[in-house]
Amino acid sequence: MADAPTVDEARLEPVDPGGVARLSGGNATLHWRRLDGWTWLYKRFTDEHRGGVDEAALTRLIAWRLALPEGARRRLDLLAAWPRFAVQAQGRTTGVLIPAAAEPFFDRRADGRRTPRVLGEMAGGAGSGGAVPPETLTVLGRLILAVRFLHSLDVVVNDVQPDNVLFRVDGQGTGVYLVDCDSMASVHWGRVGPMTAPDLMSEQVPAGAEPAVSTDLTKLFWVVARVLLDEPTVIGLGRPQRTQLLEMLPAAARPPFGALLDDPADAASWDRLGEQWALVRPFMPAAPGPPLPPPAVPVQHLPTQPRGWLPAWYSYQPDPGPPVLPPRLRGDRVARVGRRLASLIFTRSGTLAGVTAAALTVL
């Protein structure tokens, strides 16, 4: 594996990107910097996060990209803001340099400032009269293919959430761009830092769960469901929401998505959806390269945890429909019993004993 490039923080020159908003948050701050004539984003770790960073794992993560075949590396660069340099100060790693997303992944606000277009801002089916906009399906399809491409390289995305996915929908096509790549995990480098996730996502996947393909796919399901429903905070799906999700999708997508409602970690269903949705609208041209390979390692579900990590009150089983009453309680039986009871009451004594006897005779 090639050595990872490192750079001293003192060599980085501040640069004004021209009014880009919303560049800080989480376990790092983002700063525009120039190095040898190239402009980068300097992701500077907070002091708290830096204490938990495995510097050797970060070095391996950066070097791993350099060792990829050219086609896979070019495709990775189209899909993700992979760290290119480890930044050091006084002998300690302070952050990484990452490539900024292309202009189409930003919106220009009324005040002229630019802000990243994050997946949570996409319109779902609930907010557009019931049918999912084609552009939304295409972006979600591209996201599915991007996640599965990383899985094929033995990479677990880990922090799958809307704020870590930028999207573009413009005249040149549709695409996604994944950020926060230093939180990804792999057998090739291990884990760079502690596994963290937004509080909302921890409702579905416990904070201490070991990153795996199955945890990725479970998180991906909730990202997709929340976008489709236009409900960014939903944490459980009842029968009305399950029905709504299926009805807003194209007919061909209902069987695989229905399977995911019961098992969000069903990789085969995700692959079918990705192939269908990514072709709904033209998407950003990919770099020349080999066809998408199958996952290098078969999907494994962690034996000590339930598949999907959904809340305990969320059923994995298909909706059984209305309850089936026993024969004695069905409507036609109750009606017949009522008529016989009335007839016997009129023909027997009007005393309480007579009414009781009539009831026992019918039942």
pLDDT band at 193 (very low <50, low <70, confident <90, very high): confident
Structure tokens at 354: 């007579």
Taking 60 as the threshold, does the pLDDT of residue 355 lie above it?
A: no
pTM: 0.75
Residue 228 CB partners (closer than 8 Å, separation 6+) = 124, 125, 126, 132, 136, 140, 245, 248, 249
| Long-range contacts of residues 189-196, Cβ cutoff 8 Å, at least 24 apart | 189/57, 189/58, 189/60, 189/61, 189/64, 190/54, 190/57, 190/60, 191/54, 191/57, 192/53, 192/54, 192/57, 192/58, 192/61, 193/27, 193/49, 193/52, 193/53, 193/54, 194/52, 195/158, 196/27, 196/159
Q: What is the DSSP string of 232-286?
A: TT-----HHHHHHHHHHS-GGGHHHHHHHHH-TT-HHHHHHHHHHHTTSS--PPP
- What are the beta bridge partners of residue 171? none
Superfamily of domain 6-277: Transferase(Phosphotransferase) domain 1 (1.10.510.10)
Q: Cα(40)–Cα(99) distance, rounded to whole angstroms?
A: 5
Axis-axis angle for helices 134-152, 70-79 (nearest 10): 140
Sketch the domain layout of the chain as residue ranges. 6-277, 327-362
Taking 60 as the threshold, does the pLDDT of residue 226 lie above it?
A: yes
Axis-axis angle for helices 267-277, 213-229 (nearest 10): 50
pLDDT in tens, 129-154: 678 888 899 999 999 999 999 999 99
pLDDT in tens, 9-37: 999 999 887 766 555 557 888 899 999 99
Residue 183, helix vs strand vs coil = helix
Q: Cα(222)–Cα(204) distance, rounded to whole angstroms?
A: 8
Q: What is the pLDDT of residue 287?
A: 38
What average pLDDT score do residues 163-192 get?
Answer: 89
Axis-axis angle for helices 134-152, 213-229 (nearest 10): 170
Number of C-beta neighbours around residue 312 at 10 A:
6
